[in-house]
Amino acid sequence: MILVTGATGHVGRTVVRHLAALGCEVVALVRNAEAASRLLPPSSALRVADYDDILAMKAAFAGIDEMVLVSSDGEARAVMRHHANVLEAAAAANIRHIVFTSIIDTDWQSPFYFAPVYRDAERRLAACGVPSTILRCGLYCDFILEHWLVPSQVSGELVLPAGHGRVAPISRDDVAAAVAAVAAKPDRTGTIHTLAGQRALDFGEIAACYGEMTARPVRYRPCSVDEYLALASARLDDPWPRAFSSLCASIAEGRYSRTSNDFSAITGRQPESFAEFLRRASPGSPRTR
């Protein structure tokens, strides 16, 4: 029996669907059963627990063989605590294997706000006694579209402190497909995969690709951290301006430029390119009608 955490989220619910389609017995861990009933197929088996409630998680994990831990989100200390709690409960429940969605850049010198969070989770995973497979994810195409490209349409300028750094984005749907494929055939040898696109793009290319698809030109303008923080703080709550500016600093240092063929090796197909993702994600745009 495979339990998927974060199953009301985009990645989690897509993993649940893939595993069910692969014929696996799958259980969705959610904290809000009402939301789950709207977002998951009606036949989905549910267990309810918050990452802050270790006792509820221990009960929810009874009888589970395999876990997909979709990383949590929010303020860094809370996310670190969530991962620690899940791993403690998973070890207590004698779960036999964990698939964890980590990030590409966990380096101790990384400026990224979440790098220490994922470094801590990977360290705990190695120490908790449960065999694991780590999928280190590059930047999601969806993240770039929702947080950076869509807002850039207003001014026609994509303004980020990412310098000339490159990213090799991968879509959330592709991440979920790879996670499900790995969970369906668990390898208990501690493998670490990199889930990233096959081409690294700079933000000039990303902006041009988006402008081409929407038929409204968007130009990339690298900016300073201070300018970005001033712009982002006007529309985002803490910690996101800091988190996103430190992500850009990591990108500028080349920490997100790694491409990978691991997705193809796991799934037997190519990942979506960024342009293919944009066409799928924006069906009403002039170039996709």
Ligand X SMILES: NC(=O)c1ccc[n+]([C@@H]2O[C@H](COP(=O)([O-])OP(=O)(O)OC[C@H]3O[C@@H](n4cnc5c(N)ncnc54)[C@H](OP(=O)(O)O)[C@@H]3O)[C@@H](O)[C@H]2O)c1
**Does 178 interact with ligand X (rule: CB under 6 A)?**
no
Q: Of 226 and 276, which has the nearer Cβ to ligand X?
A: 276
Q: Is 31 in the site for ligand X (CB under 6 A)?
A: yes
CB neighbour class for 48 (10 Å; exposed up to 12, middle 13-18, buried from 19): middle
Ranked by CB distance to ligand X, the top (closest) residue is: 9
CB of 71 to ligand X, least distance (A): 3
Rule CB under 6 A: say whether 271 interacts with ligand X. Answer: no
Please identify, using beta-carbon distances, which residue of 32 and 155 lies nearer to ligand X: 32
Residue 8 interacts with ligand X (CB under 6 A): yes or no: yes
CB-wise, 146 or 226, nearer to ligand X? 146
83 lies in the binding site for ligand X (CB under 6 A): no
CA 180 to CA 45: how far, in whole Å? Answer: 17
> Which member of 91, 116, 143, 273 binds ligand X (CB under 6 A)?
143
- Of positions 44, 71, 132, 171, contacts ligand X by CB under 6 A: 71
Q: Does 81 bind ligand X (CB under 6 A)?
A: no
Q: Does 159 bind ligand X (CB under 6 A)?
A: no
One of 32, 94, 261, 270 touching ligand X (CB under 6 A): 32
Asked whether position 11 contacts ligand X by CB under 6 A, the answer is yes
**Taking CB under 6 A as the rule, does residue 165 contact ligand X?**
no
Query: Where do we find the tokens 């389609």?
Result: 21
> Whose Cβ is closer to ligand X: residue 128's or residue 141's?
141
The residue count for binding ligand X (CB under 6 A) is: 24
Instruction: Give the nearest distance from C-beta 10 to ligand X in angstroms.
Output: 4
Stretch that binds ligand X, among 1-9, 17-25, 249-257, 269-277 (CB under 6 A): 1-9
Query: Residues 6 or more apart from 287 whose CB is under 8 A from it?
Result: 212, 213, 214, 215, 279
Q: Is 250 in the site for ligand X (CB under 6 A)?
A: no
Catalog residues that contact ligand X under the rule CB under 6 A: 6, 8-12, 31-32, 35, 50-52, 70-73, 82, 101, 103, 137, 139-140, 143, 172
